[in-house]
Structure 1
């Protein structure tokens, strides 16, 4: 027997309350159990919002523990390096982590399996090569600029670029999973698994009597990032192989790159707007101040969760409505605006 919020309320609440709450509970049931596009998008948005809330709790606990273990000075160094790597890793995808959300649902909807196979493989290879090249250039740039950088930042930044290819690949895998409406595969590795593993590896290294400093935290982050991304890669690849039958492959890299480029520019500016403040604080203030500032602004980021959750749940659905269905597209757009505005 399937669970129903309306039926459960009728069993455990007074009849008058159950009748009044009926319309609301009916809408909850529609979101949880409906098999149409609206229900699937609603469920994915709800899962995304839940994951981000749990992630926020993990982030607060992580800030406290890392600052206690390392002290504010070393924690400030780690924060600046890690935020920089997350920003550059996201940019290293060059927009492919978002453009796949646009192309994969379209190719599946239109039965273009050769193109579907092509973009799945080509996007992974491109992001891996591009992010590895950017990581190499980044390490070289830090080494050449070391006379003008505070000496306590040089080694952590050079170590940090080791994470770049896996951060970029993780962002792409998140896009591939979102394109298939796999909410847990898309979000839990980055927002749940990786931060928990960073704490676990850091605790293990301290138990093995490593120095509690930024370099140790970055080593823990490298191990956690590689473990998370490789696990996510195996999981997403396995599920996609089951859904996409073997066959010929068509690659339209030029078209995909041209579509990804403006996405890259728009998302780059947005991503920088939400993270560049930490970089600016790191450029002008001491690591102690970076640590305090980072912990403070993460509280304000809670407001962003609703928009993030809705975007994660509906982006791939817009791609399905772009061919000859303007009425469905308009109705879906109006509904998702209300999902964002009212919460």
Structure 2
């Protein structure tokens, strides 16, 4: 229900006065409520942006404290293991954490209550069972490969597998919340509460006399992740109970899995691509180098959150426009490019100006990573120049094409890392990532144009506005 100015005047003002002001108020309603879809996406993106701003600050503070408490060697072990856990958890849902956004939006709009109950139940149970099985296989794999793994990685990786199912479930809960445009329930737990709790639990562990090392940090991460995910699940269930009517769940598991598998490839390639440089630095170099490189990545996260904020707000609207209004989809998609690029560019310049003192906060060893920011920033700005193009492909049913782009980019990135890191060290990792991200942006933009006819690139002039 929406309270319009015109209806309010008709109800509460005297008849003659109401008759005079109603035309003016009708125009006010047209200004305020024209294009509700774009306004809703804007509100979602603004809320997501605000959360990411706060999250970036909290995460940066958390990483600074962890780096200073553990020093670069133990910090490097922790960030490599934690990065691996986040990647594994993100792909362990088999793509359901993104599929659920599409189907929750579609089923709610079409009033398909049985299917809505079915996708909500299936996404959570399927993810929890599958991620637990993968975690068990991971523990067995660590045990079998222990003779070939450096001793200082073994215990942290065991602990990481314990944490992984809750990471996966949290991603699906985020997708459910995003499908309902609940920005704070979608992003707040993962991006604000969890890093805050990791910092608090780690501080408490040190006060209790535990060692400032990677296993202690992983125990703090386990506790924080379980508390956050279980609390998020309770909150989302409470919100769901208020907006959907009871119905017998209807399951279309085959359809959901068919749609999810390409998304699984897209998301898997995306997370591997986003973190491949960190993983490869860990493979070829020492934990000390991993810590320095990861500190530069965390500094760049201040720019990345613009992209993620717009993506969070736009994904649901992409799905709605795909089914209802392809013309408006093209105009809205082009707007999201501008929302992504210009704030990202401004933040990129700002980060380059303050990057050295920011890295110094991690410790004096980390300042050596400052020149890497200039190379890494090229890839970040290139990705921002095409907006959340992969979300548009996924939400419009072109997830197979998107998977091909990410697969090709991942192969390119892996090849460049293998060639450049042994030869140039951290500089090689930065160059490999910047080149790969530039290729990714160009390939995504071209694919969107070929498949949908939408100009997802900041340097292409926008089409004329559609009257609404």
Q: Which residue of 2 aligns with 1:20?
A: none
Q: RMSD of aligned C-alpha atoms?
A: 1.7
Q: Which residue of 2 aligns with 1:88?
A: 88
Aligned equivalents of 1:152, 1:34: Cα separation in 2: 59
Aligned equivalents of 2:235, 2:55: Cα separation in 1: 21
Aligned equivalents of 2:173, 2:154: Cα separation in 1: 30
Q: Which residue of 2 aligns with 1:135?
A: 135
Residue 161 (str. 1) matches residue 142 (str. 2): no
| Residue ranges of structure 2 left out of the alignment (5+ in a row) | 1-29, 344-468
Residue 300 (str. 1) matches residue 300 (str. 2): yes
The structural deviation recorded for 1:32 is 9.8
The structural deviation recorded for 1:139 is 0.7
Structure 1 residues 138 and 31: CA distance shift in structure 2, 3 A: farther
Q: Which residue of 1 aligns with 2:239?
A: 239
Aligned equivalents of 1:146, 1:60: Cα separation in 2: 32
Residue 48 (str. 1) matches residue 48 (str. 2): yes
The structural deviation recorded for 1:119 is 0.1
Higher mean C-alpha deviation, range 58-67 or range 254-263: 58-67
Q: How does 1:64-83 map to 2 (within 5 A)?
A: 64-83=64-83
The structural deviation recorded for 1:31 is 11
The TM-score, its normalising length taken from structure 1, stands at 0.88
The residue matched to 1:98 in structure 2 has which SS?
helix
Higher mean C-alpha deviation, range 49-58 or range 134-143: 49-58
Q: Which has the larger radius of gyration?
A: 2
Q: Which residue of 1 aligns with 2:63?
A: 63
The TM-score, its normalising length taken from structure 2, stands at 0.65
Q: Which residue of 1 aligns with 2:287?
A: 287
Q: How does 1:178-193 map to 2 (within 5 A)?
A: 178-193=178-193
- Contact 1:51/1:188 (<8 A) preserved: yes
- Contact 1:31/1:38 (<8 A) preserved: no
Residue 107 (str. 1) matches residue 107 (str. 2): yes
Q: Which residue of 1 aligns with 2:151?
A: 151
The structural deviation recorded for 1:262 is 0.6
Number of residue pairs the alignment of both structures matches: 314
The structural deviation recorded for 1:158 is 0.6
The structural deviation recorded for 1:302 is 2.7
Deviations 1:274-312 (A, max 9, x none): 111111111111111111110012222333222211110
Q: Which residue of 1 aligns with 2:380?
A: none
Q: Which residue of 1 aligns with 2:213?
A: 213
- Contact 2:56/2:305 (<8 A) preserved: no
Q: Which residue of 1 aligns with 2:198?
A: 198
Aligned equivalents of 1:208, 1:303: Cα separation in 2: 36
- Ranked by relative contact order (alpha carbons within 8 Å, sequence separation 6 or more), the top structure is 1
> What stretches of structure 1 move > 4 A for 4+ residues in a row?
30-35
- Contact 1:31/1:39 (<8 A) preserved: no
